[in-house]
Structure 1
Amino acid sequence: MRGGGLLVAGTTSDAGKSVVTAGICRWLVRQGIKVAPFKGQNMSLNSFVTREGAEIGRAQAMQAQAARVEPSALMNPVLLKPGSDRSSQVVLMGKPVGEMSARGYHGGRQQTLFEPVMACLEELRGTYDAVICEGAGSPAEINLRRTDIVNMGIARAAKLPVVVVGDIDRGGVFAQFFGTTALLAPEDQSLVAGYLVNKFRGDVTLLEPGLDMLHGLTGRRTFGVLPYAHGLGIDEEDGLRVSLRGTVRESVVAPPVGADVLRVAVCAVPLMSNFTDVDALTAEPGVIVRFVDRPEELADADLVVVPGTRGTVKALAWLRERGLADALVRRAAEGRPVLGICGGFQALGERIEDEVESKAGVVDGLGLLPVRVRFGVEKTLARPVGEALGEQVEGYEIHHGVADVRGGEPFLDGCRVGSVWGTHWHGSLESDGFRRAFLREVAAAAGRRFVPAPDTSFGALREEQLDRLGDLIEEHADTDALLRLIEQGAPEGLPFVPPGAP
């Protein structure tokens, strides 16, 4: 097989397209099939830097890991990074090419990107046995179909069969499957081979009559019913609007090794980006991570993280309006640990000069670190390697702000003053030895009898999670039928479903 393909579409955003795509990639590679993921256009504030210095969505980097291949800009040629509800930075082949309003993008620019998107897909299909493509949102966004470069637009151009994923845990999945199909043009419907039910709880035999009725209404089969899987911990894609009140990420590995647990509070700043940085903390037994937006929620935190953001100046204003800025200043004065990552690091500094991102000019930071930041037009995209706390560290950088560090102890190209740390490096906590050393310092400063587990491997845990996704596909989907779709395309003679048909 060479150049086979499949598009995993969804009835809605967050239906499970990313994890299903990753699961199919992991299942295929375990069968000895050389496979790559692909998403023509992604909208996300959670991104990653490839080894060649290209910025792509973290979901595609995760899918590449599932496929056991190196991530590449070919796998996500267009990345949109929202800066507000109405505008985004456009990243093409891993490099930013400018800011654009949603109207301007969908009104013309998007159409010019169709050819480079298709060229990337065809290059992957010429290199790999199979390419598993992920759609975006829903293929039935009829207002956007004319300029579509991620759903049925590429499916029709590349003659890809389509499987539609629906989240049954939300309710209404049968209406979603039928409505999605019925809203498509006949040429698009001819590529929709069937459906995958995601996040099912309970006795599947109770669902089967509905699946039979859906087949009767649409002429399309269901390729599997995937059970609800707890604790998957897979990278999330959408960072524009994150409502995280009450969200707690706890270690699912084991009880704490020491006598105490360690509590981490993450400030849920506006346009939060790469909040996946804290996932490595939850790999440690006895670490609890909460996303917070009120100063009183910092009271019992042993560590507060100010994460990355697409809007540093906006995040600073938010911290001040919420009273979190004053709470962070008090923490620092009391010697209680604070970690700023990327935009969070910039916010902890003395001053920001920004004529690029917010165009706000000179803005005072929180003054917790001796750092001044100037935003430049050029974006730093890098994969640095270094040492901190006596341990080797790897990370990645994605930022327009250039930091002028004027004091403190060196810390991953940033600095440390007392119990306040700041760095532009994302992903540093995934380095196991460094993470344990850092948590020991935090525990000592917080007065906790917390001991990091000596053998926790974040990389190994991530591999286990990806294998779980592969197992879900292998055990609960009709893999023979999926493989036929990938090799042969959609079946001939699939019926047209007119809107409102029964």
Structure 2
Amino acid sequence: MKGVMVQGTASNVGKSWIAAGLCRLLAREGVNVAPFKSQNMSNNAYVTVKGEEIGRAQGVQAEAAGVEATVDMNPILLKPTSDQRSEVILRGVSQTVWSGSEYREQGYERGKQVICESAEKLAEEYDTLVIEGAGSPVEINLNDRELVNMAIADLLDVPVILTADIDRGGVFASIVGTLELLEERHRRRVKGLIINKFRGQRELFDDGVKWLEERTGIPVLGVVPHLENHGIEGEDSLTIQNVRSAQEKALDIAVIHWSYTANNSDVMPLAHEPDVSIRYVKSFKDLGDPDALILPGTRSTIEDFLTAEELGLTEAVQTYAGTGTVVGICGGYQVLCETMYKNPEDEHGISGIGLFPLKTTFLSKKQTIRVKGQTHEESGFAAAAMKGYEIHLGRTEGVIEAPFLELLDGPEGISVDNGRLIGTYMHDCFHNDEWRTEWLNRLRRKAGLPELPILRLAERQKRYDRLADHLEAHLDTQTLREIIEGSGS
């Protein structure tokens, strides 16, 4: 199989980002390319046109490649539900919840079969695959049954590019240490190195490049500078970070940071607004008096709610909501209801924060669907087209005087006090430029800040081109192409 695998010395070194850029680079050259990640562990999901779940990163990489995302691009998705258990999704469909040991014992052979089937289908449809690894390839205690790094490079017989994050420090040790811990046959697969997230004067690292190449015998394909505000969505919770506006006076948007935050890409469009600062809140001491509060989705709604309750955060949200602006998305919507029932047989339920006179009942079957419509005429907002997706297990019911949205299949969500308080199952609602701008301009007027015109963020293709341009400027693309064209072994 023709392709290249992007592995890393650790998590969050930029594998997803570089893979997306390579997909774009190759696609612009006319290569029929697709992304592939055999197994993804992330609560950031992407819904395909068929209503199936894959990792968000592979959905983004497919967009960068200019192709429609399918379950074959990420045949296994593991969504953590606690520190030790994860929901297992095979080819877009939820199967079970297993502990790590259960998955290794019972899921390995089936997982390997699914991976092989998906890889074969992609190989029939595409000429080249850009394959992403996970974490580090030298997790010694797990390598006997791993399904995502060198085992996949062997299975598909592809070369490996090893990526390291220089911004976190220790780049020489991380690269050399990783290579030293690899088996010799796997070391031979590594055909190039990428130093990512570089800051400062590039020439000062020339000696470092020379040392690495002499020490490892592997070419450094490039030293890639840190790219600010690239707009490419991250894969997991490690990408969650505060965003500070450069303006002296800016909107203060607080976002609840659940232990199992899901689809944190929902708030990313706000980070591109010039007068918006985003900060993540874990306890009542952090909340303060923001201009708005967002409760994002969570993979473990009740568990995260109970933890927040113990930390005094739910009471703080109740108090703030008396006069503040609140948006609850998916799990964040559910905890704002009066009662949450663990299942249809649960007679007592758990009292929620209680902003909305609604009840949520958790079901066994998950809803995964792309949705579109517009803001509801009773929502308090001007009519604006809205599109996004839903991924949830709960059903929320009750008397809703003013829905937030009017979707093709009927009203959705809730809007209270002319849109000051919102609950919705629609992920990506802030990606809708007109509505986001109206919501922000309300906050700006209240804060005494000037209103701003619509910032068009929906032109996602420009972001992928910017990323590809950045990689093209700093990578030895000729050597990279030769690596892809050559043998993996």
Partner of 2:440: 439
2:364 counterpart of 1:377: yes
State the one-letter code of the partner of 1:368. Answer: L
Q: How many residues align?
A: 474
Partner of 2:327: 339
Deviations 1:281-336 (A, max 9, x none): 223331222111233543331111111111111222233222222222223333x2
Partner of 2:426: 425
TM-score w.r.t. length of structure 1: 0.89
Using CA pairs below 8 Å that are at least 6 residues apart, which structure has the higher relative contact order?
Answer: 1
Deviations 1:12-62 (A, max 9, x none): 111111111111111112222221111110111111111110111111111
Distance 1:397 1:216 in 2: 51
Partner of 2:251: 262
Partner of 1:126: 124
Q: What secondary structure does 2:393 align onto? A: strand
The answer on whether the counterparts of 2:437 and 2:454 sit within 8 Å (CA) in structure 1 is no
Partner of 2:409: none
Alignment of 1:132-281 (within 5 A): 132-239=130-237, 247-250=241-244, 261-281=250-270
Partner of 1:456: 455
Partner of 1:409: 402
Distance 2:467 2:230 in 1: 8
Q: What secondary structure does 1:304 align onto? A: strand
Shift of 1:116: 1.3
Shift of 1:268: 1.0
Distance 1:219 1:103 in 2: 38
Q: Of 319, 323, 328, which aligns to 2:317? A: 328
Distance 1:160 1:191 in 2: 8
The answer on whether the counterparts of 2:295 and 2:332 sit within 8 Å (CA) in structure 1 is yes
Distance 2:56 2:245 in 1: 22
TM-score w.r.t. length of structure 2: 0.91
Deviates more, 1:39-48 or 1:138-147: 138-147
State the one-letter code of the partner of 2:336. Answer: L
1:333–1:215 distance in 2 versus 1, CA, 3 Å: closer
Distance 1:383 1:442 in 2: 29
Q: What secondary structure does 2:243 align onto? A: strand
Q: What secondary structure does 1:229 align onto? A: coil
Partner of 2:354: 367
Q: Of 55, 65, 68, which aligns to 1:67? A: 65
Distance 1:13 1:473 in 2: 20
Distance 2:220 2:355 in 1: 56
Shift of 1:115: 1.9
The answer on whether the counterparts of 1:354 and 1:375 sit within 8 Å (CA) in structure 2 is yes
The answer on whether the counterparts of 1:196 and 1:226 sit within 8 Å (CA) in structure 2 is yes
CA RMSD of aligned residues (A): 2.2
Distance 1:313 1:484 in 2: 51
Distance 1:75 1:25 in 2: 13
Task: Give unpaired runs (5+ residues) of structure 2.
Answer: 376-380, 406-411
State the one-letter code of the partner of 2:436. Answer: R
Distance 1:387 1:101 in 2: 41
Partner of 2:408: none
Shift of 1:350: 0.9
Partner of 2:292: 303
Deviations 1:48-96 (A, max 9, x none): 1111101111111111121122221111111110011111001111111
Task: Give unpaired runs (5+ residues) of structure 1.
Answer: 493-502
The answer on whether the counterparts of 1:354 and 1:360 sit within 8 Å (CA) in structure 2 is no
The answer on whether the counterparts of 2:289 and 2:320 sit within 8 Å (CA) in structure 1 is no
The answer on whether the counterparts of 1:405 and 1:414 sit within 8 Å (CA) in structure 2 is no
